[in-house]
Structure 1
Amino acid sequence: MEDMDDAGHHRVVVGLSGSLGSLTALHRAAAEARRTGAVLVAVLAWEPPGGEFAYRRSPCPPLPDGGQDRARRRLLDAVESAFGRLPEDLPLRALTVRGPAGWALTQVANRPDDLLVVGAGRRGRLLSPSVARHCLAHAVCPVLAVPRSPLHGVLEDMHRRSTWRLPLHSAAPLR
């Protein structure tokens, strides 16, 4: 899985999903790459709808190709969401990898001198099965688990409060 263009260069590998936590991890990974002069490798893992097991039971060749295309678009959207546009001051490689996220990240960050950056998720969930936990257990390189920003909780609270709900007494009767 090693990208030949990066042979001999220090790499900072970061997992992306498009979530706020992964965008926070991307910003931290970019800062580490700039600080050390490393290549930033953004990775988005994807699986066919229903997962690999369902795909193997009844394969449909167009699905993986469509999944790969959607994954590429999601990856570029996530990078553009984080930076506004592709960063010009930072060597960036964007990879989509078919497979579970934890496995994909540890396969890409396969050199001892790589740095793997992942979002740690919600406080207290690091001990549950997660991408961060898988990476911490299986990576051959240092892993930086970036905690959620305190602003994530504020944004989630604002979203919950702004969700419009129709009061029960004014609901139209079903006919």
Structure 2
Amino acid sequence: MNGEWDDETAGPGRVVVGVSGDSLASLAALRVAAREARGSGRTLVAVLAWEPPEGEALYLRHPDPAWAAHWRGVARERLAGAFDEVFGGGPPGVVAERRLVRGRPGPALCRVASRPEDLLVVGVWRGGRWPGRVRRYAEAHAACPVLAVPAPPEPVALRRALRRARPADFALRP
């Protein structure tokens, strides 16, 4: 997994999925993408886009290859963790590639899903500061169809319990 994309090595019609590894929408998208790939006989390409936490602009002012290598390793662990969480390893019955791409998620996904016969799958979480930002970018710039997968709703009992929670409920107990 070199983080690069190569149109020469991939077969026609891949299912490309954006994976963050830390959201329910991302995990749901990975599950749906594997089902789409299995049903159509296409290769699943799971992409985790990453950047140094301080951002590329600051990193370019003070480059540190060891620091970048550390964060690339963290990204690799998040991608592996997503596969473990969803499939317990690799998806059954699907040829899967895992790719790390350094860059913003929207542009990185559109670069990988660059052919009209590809399918780009993105998870959509309807909360947060920028709901659907990657989806909107993909829909505006992708060269292929985009499938948006919503995050599963939280169980009602969990939402009620969290509303009643107090800070003391989260304190470490001896």
TM bucket, shorter chain: 0.7 to 0.9
User: Unpaired segments of 5 or more residues in structure 1?
Assistant: 168-175
Question: Relative to structure 1, is the Cα distance of residues 131 and 147 closer, same or farther in structure 2, using a 3 angstrom cutoff?
Answer: same
Identity %: 48
For these two proteins, the number of residue pairs brought into alignment is 164
1:9 Cα offset (Å): 3.0
Asked whether the 8 Å contact 1:2–1:110 carries over to 2, the reply is no
Give 2:137's aligned residue.
134
Matches within 5 A, 1:1-175: 1-2=5-6, 4-6=8-10, 8-18=11-21, 19-122=23-126, 130-150=133-153, 152=154, 154=156, 157=159, 160-161=162-163, 163-166=165-168
1:88 Cα offset (Å): 3.7
**Greater relative CO (CA pairs within 8 A, separation 6+):** 2
Secondary structure, counterpart of 1:5 in structure 2: coil
User: Unpaired segments of 5 or more residues in structure 2?
Assistant: 170-174
Residue-by-residue CA offset, 1:18-42 (whole Å, 9 max, x unaligned): 1110000111111110111000000
Residue-by-residue CA offset, 1:53-83 (whole Å, 9 max, x unaligned): 1101211121111111111111011111011
User: How large is the Cα RMSD of the aligned pairs?
Assistant: 2.5
Asked whether the 8 Å contact 2:26–2:151 carries over to 1, the reply is no
Question: Relative to structure 1, is the Cα distance of residues 129 and 40 closer, same or farther in structure 2, using a 3 angstrom cutoff?
Answer: closer
Give 1:170's aligned residue.
none
Question: Relative to structure 1, is the Cα distance of residues 51 and 32 closer, same or farther in structure 2, using a 3 angstrom cutoff?
Answer: same
Structure 1 length normalisation: TM-score? 0.83
Structure with max Cα Rg:
1
